[in-house]
């Protein structure tokens, strides 16, 4: 490094440390007299005495007259009136690099296996702007996910963003693990936000498995963590995925679930005095969602193909978060509890699901085959009650007769074992063979 470079670094160093004092704590909100800080800056709250002295990280989330409002990344039990607050004048930054592959980190990018942060990694901000719309190449290439019903009927492109909408216990995590194991993407980045503590290890060992973990980085922010940690978990995972995209790689990004990120933002918003707007959600929830979800996708270097799970209350697909997310993403996959109860896995309701880019990615024959299968499935389900009670007589409708003949084969086609890996070419061949529309070329 040249002398003038060293001089410029020295000249930009801030030799002053700015401090303030805690004046008030209400719930999750910490009010402090000073220090001078900006929204999003990290501050350190000094607690304890003697050898037990340590710092708690907190983030500036608002202002009240001359006071700043902080939210902690950890618990606040040892904070006392007059506790010293030190400004860092920086937003949250994490270390990222290939050394993290195969490991589990927390919302601050710290490995949870106790082995420490590897050396030689790059420092990056967690909060970034989405790519310039004009720098995003059009999505033109299919990405294999290894799930027959998705590859054939809801074909995904490299850089596409989809939502997986379902109530609790319908198989979201199992489906994500299956995609992570089977996908042809270069690397998986998986954000587990608001999960129960026991579910993190279960997902890693049971759903993801050693094969999936070898090419994955997992960011875990469990339900017992403060709201800010759950929000930052989503931003940290996205920043990690962006790092690998900028290296020219095709990244598979998964977040389970974006609903819990929204719930965390609601807690923060209510704590700083935002009025509840739609069903208790504050306005900041609906501004943070596009900022987060638009960061994935393509840029001039690589791609991030993203799957975001959305918990729907009482299987209501029109609740506020589901409605907002569906409007941002490039498609949605609906998991149906009724299908899960019948033993179908994955329990994807094909008629309610859509990939907005599929018709631009597939051949005409593939497209017509998918449309024909949807048509036959719709015909059968519309007449299912009549068929089940014996009120329908064969010969009354050629379309219904055909749907009845094909329905068992369609069910068999849509089912897939969790350990079964099927290539996209095989999926398309089986679809075309099923509906009898010729070869895939």
pLDDT the model gives residue 8: 65
Residues 6+ positions from 176 with CB-CB distance below 8 Å: 164, 190, 207, 254, 256, 307, 309
218 pLDDT more than 50: yes
Cα–Cα–Cα angle for 4, 9, 14, nearest 5°?
Answer: 145
For residues 293 and 173, which has the higher predicted lDDT (pLDDT)? 293
Question: Stretch 172-178: mean pLDDT, rounded?
Answer: 90
Q: Which residues pair with 104 in a beta bridge?
A: 218
pLDDT the model gives residue 195: 84
Question: Stretch 326-351: mean pLDDT, rounded?
Answer: 92
pLDDT the model gives residue 9: 59
What tokens appear for 101 in the block? 């592959």
* Confidence label for 438 from pLDDT (cuts 50, 70 and 90): very low
pLDDT the model gives residue 66: 83
Measured CA to CA, the distance from residue 317 to residue 354 in angstroms comes to 14
Measured CA to CA, the distance from residue 257 to residue 289 in angstroms comes to 12
For residues 167 and 153, which has the higher predicted lDDT (pLDDT)? 153
pLDDT the model gives residue 439: 46
Least confident of 13-17, 317-321, 338-342: 13-17
Which secondary-structure segment (H or E) carries 200?
helix 197-202
pLDDT the model gives residue 12: 59
Region of 248 please: left (phi>0), alpha (psi -120 to 50) or beta: left
349 pLDDT more than 60: yes
For residues 11 and 205, which has the higher predicted lDDT (pLDDT)? 205
pLDDT the model gives residue 11: 58
219 pLDDT more than 90: yes
Q: Please, is 84 exposed, middle or buried when counting C-beta atoms within 10 Å of its C-beta (0-12, 13-18, 19+)? A: middle
Q: Which residues pair with 264 in a beta bridge?
A: none
Question: Stretch 115-121: mean pLDDT, rounded?
Answer: 82
Question: Stretch 233-259: mean pLDDT, rounded?
Answer: 94
**Cβ(57)–Cβ(73) under 8 Å?**
yes
67 pLDDT more than 50: yes
Question: Stretch 269-275: mean pLDDT, rounded?
Answer: 86
Measured CA to CA, the distance from residue 104 to residue 74 in angstroms comes to 18
* Confidence label for 440 from pLDDT (cuts 50, 70 and 90): very low
What tokens appear for 355 in the block? 């990939």
**Cβ(392)–Cβ(386) under 8 Å?**
yes
Cα–Cα–Cα angle for 122, 126, 130, nearest 5°?
Answer: 110
Which secondary-structure segment (H or E) carries 43?
strand 41-47
DSSP conformational letter for 315: G
pLDDT the model gives residue 266: 92
389-434 pLDDT, tens digit per residue, is: 888 888 888 888 899 999 999 999 999 998 888 999 999 999 999 9
């Amino acid at each position: 490094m040249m002398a003038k470079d060293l001089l410029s670094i020295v000249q930009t160093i801030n030799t002053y440390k700015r401090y303030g004092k805690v004046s008030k704590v209400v719930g999750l909100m910490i009010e402090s007299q000073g220090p001078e800080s900006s929204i999003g800056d990290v501050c350190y709250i000094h607690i304890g005495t003697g050898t037990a002295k340590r710092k708690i990280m907190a983030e500036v989330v608002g202002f009240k007259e001359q006071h700043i409002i902080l939210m902690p990344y950890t618990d606040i039990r040892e904070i006392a009136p007059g506790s010293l607050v030190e400004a860092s004048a920086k937003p949250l930054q994490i270390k990222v690099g290939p050394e993290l592959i195969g490991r589990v980190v927390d919302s601050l990018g710290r490995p949870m296996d106790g082995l420490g942060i590897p050396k030689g990694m790059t420092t990056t901000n967690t909060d970034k702007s989405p790519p310039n719309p004009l720098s995003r190449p059009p999505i033109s290439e299919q990405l294999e996910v290894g799930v027959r019903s998705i590859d054939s009927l809801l074909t995904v492109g490299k850089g596409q963003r989809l939502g997986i909408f379902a109530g609790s216990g319908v198989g979201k995590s199992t489906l994500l693990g299956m995609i992570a194991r089977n996908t042809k993407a270069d690397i998986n980045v998986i954000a587990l936000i608001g999960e129960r503590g026991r579910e993190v290890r279960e997902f890693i060992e049971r759903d993801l498995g050693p094969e999936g973990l070898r090419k994955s980085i997992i960011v875990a922010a469990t339900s017992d963590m403060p709201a800010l940690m759950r929000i930052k978990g989503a931003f940290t995972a996205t920043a990690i995925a962006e790092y690998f995209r900028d290296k020219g790689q095709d990244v598979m990004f998964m977040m389970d679930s974006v609903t819990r990120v929204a719930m965390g933002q609601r807690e923060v918003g209510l704590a700083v005095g935002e009025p509840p707007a739609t069903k208790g959600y504050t306005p900041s929830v609906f501004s943070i969602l596009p900022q987060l979800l638009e960061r994935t996708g393509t840029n001039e270097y690589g791609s991030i193909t993203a799957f975001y799970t959305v918990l729907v209350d009482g299987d209501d697909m029109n609740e506020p978060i589901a409605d907002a997310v569906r409007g941002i993403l490039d498609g949605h996959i609906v998991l149906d509890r009724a299908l899960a109860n019948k033993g179908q896995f994955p329990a994807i309701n094909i008629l309610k699901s859509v990939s907005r880019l599929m018709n631009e990615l597939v051949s005409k024959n593939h497209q017509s085959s998918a449309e024909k299968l949807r048509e036959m499935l719709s015909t059968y389900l519309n007449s299912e009650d009549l068929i089940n009670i014996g009120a329908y007589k064969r010969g009354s409708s050629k379309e219904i007769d055909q749907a009845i003949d094909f329905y068992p084969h369609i069910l068999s086609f849509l089912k897939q074992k969790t350990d079964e890996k099927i290539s996209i070419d095989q999926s398309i061949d089986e679809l075309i063979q099923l509906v009898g529309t010729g070869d895939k070329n």
